[in-house]
């Protein structure tokens, strides 16, 4: 980005607490906006919304709001055209959807699928469907995945109220489910995959939930913590095991046989992300304070 003929390569922002979750906003009218979730070992946690002040070339805090427990994940609505309400979702004890305004952020709806008990199984992660932003999927330690549908209700003042309901809930794994992600295959609305403590990657189709496909099982049955779909080619996805130093690349057309195992870390991998513009590049991060960008031309 060029500002007054000068180009700054690094923009820095220091949060007042340890940052655990982070996500970019993709709205075209909200450039360079981030949401940050705190990790404080107590009930009261925070979420900050920060943005780039293009005059000073510094990130500044636009808004801070309270959040029960640390956010296990947070995501802005995948709205690249700016046609949906400006929403932010967070997971923790429940899935919460927040409406972001110019001066304040308010809780729009709290999504709880266990209304008959005071107990709630914590949510480990969630994903927001890019093709249909009124669909979200959550994963939980109670072995289930839940697909939620958002809906815009009656107008209160000048604002459409947003609510949510359970579209379907399924027992996805034999043990805790640690991550869920929608696939862009088949139109990008109905396919999703999950990983969990049973060491498997499983793929589901919302149109045929009586069946699922096991894409991969860890040979030592180590828990799988994260999965990430290739942004350009929905045949490929990546996953990683707990305390593992490698990233496994899978092809859904050849289940249970990895097409590549990427080894370039000296400590356990804790993050993976495919490049948004290339089907052949993936970035991995590990506890050894090293991130690696792999080129997969020779494997994909």
Contact between 225 and 240 (Cβ < 8 Å): yes
Summarize the confidence of residues 171-195 as an average pLDDT: 95
- What CATH code is carried by the domain that includes residue 50? 2.130.10.10
Residue 16: CB partners within 8 Å, gap ≥ 6?
Answer: none
Backbone angles phi, psi at 171, to 5 degrees: -75, 110
Residue 258 included in any domain:
yes
Could you tell me what percent of the chain has a pLDDT over 70? 89
For residue 196, pLDDT beyond 50: yes
37 within a domain of the structure (yes/no): yes
Query: Containing domain of residue 256, as a range?
Result: 15-273
1 pLDDT above the threshold of 50? no
Contact 162, 99 (CB under 8 A): yes
The pLDDT value given to residue 117: 62
How much is the pLDDT for 153?
A: 65
Classify residue 36: in a domain, yes or no. yes
Q: pLDDT tens digits, residue range 262-277? A: 998 889 999 999 999 9
Q: How confident is the model at residue 55 (pLDDT cuts 50, 70, 90)?
A: confident
Q: What is the pLDDT of residue 31?
A: 86
Q: What pLDDT score was predicted for residue 155?
A: 47
Give the pLDDT score at 8.
63
What pLDDT was estimated at residue 288?
A: 67
In a domain, 2, yes or no: no
Query: Closest Cα to residue 95, out of 48, 49, 118, 128?
Result: 128
User: Would residue 170 count as lying in a domain?
Assistant: yes
List Cβ<8 Å contacts ≥24 apart for 149-154.
150/97, 150/109, 152/85
Q: How confident is the model at residue 293 (pLDDT cuts 50, 70, 90)?
A: low
In a domain, 186, yes or no: yes
Q: Would you state the pLDDT for residue 57?
A: 85
Q: Per-residue pLDDT tens for 118-147?
A: 677 899 999 999 999 999 999 999 999 999
Residue 161 has pLDDT above 60, yes or no: yes
Give the model confidence (pLDDT) of 221-241 as tens digits. Answer: 999 999 999 999 999 999 999
Q: What is the pTM of this model?
A: 0.90
pLDDT, average across residues 5-12? 71
Tell me if 296 is assigned to some domain.
no
State how many domains the chain has.
1
User: Is residue 109 assigned to a domain?
Assistant: yes
């Amino acid at each position: 980005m060029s500002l007054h003929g000068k180009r700054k390569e690094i923009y820095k922002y220091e949060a007042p607490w340890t940052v655990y979750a982070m996500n970019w906003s993709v709205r075209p009218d909200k450039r360079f906006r981030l949401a940050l979730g705190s990790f404080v070992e107590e009930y009261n946690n925070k979420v900050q919304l920060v943005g780039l002040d293009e005059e000073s070339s510094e990130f500044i805090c636009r808004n801070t709001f309270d959040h029960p427990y640390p956010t296990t994940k947070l995501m802005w609505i995948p709205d690249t055209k700016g046609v949906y309400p400006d929403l932010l979702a967070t997971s923790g004890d429940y899935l919460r959807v927040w409406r972001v305004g110019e001066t304040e952020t308010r809780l729009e709806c709290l999504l709880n699928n266990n209304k008959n008990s005071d107990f709630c199984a914590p949510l480990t992660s969630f994903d927001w469907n890019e093709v249909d932003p009124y669909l979200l999927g959550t994963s939980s330690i109670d072995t289930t995945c839940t697909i939620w549908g958002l809906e815009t209700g009656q107008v209160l003042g000048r604002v459409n109220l947003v609510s949510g309901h359970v579209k379907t809930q399924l027992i996805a794994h034999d043990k805790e489910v640690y991550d869920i992600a929608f696939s862009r295959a088949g139109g990008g609305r109905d396919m999703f995959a999950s990983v969990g403590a049973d060491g498997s990657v499983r793929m589901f189709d919302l149109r045929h939930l009586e069946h699922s496909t096991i894409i991969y099982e860890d040979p030592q049955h180590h828990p799988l913590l994260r999965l990430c779909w290739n942004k350009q080619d929905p045949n490929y996805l990546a996953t990683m095991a707990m305390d593992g130093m490698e990233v496994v690349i899978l092809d859904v057309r050849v289940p249970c046989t990895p097409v590549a195992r990427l080894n370039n870390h000296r400590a356990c991998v804790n993050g993976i992300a495919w490049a948004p513009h290339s089907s052949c590049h993936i970035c991995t991060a590990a506890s050894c304070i090293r991130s690696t960008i792999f080129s997969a031309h020779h494997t994909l």
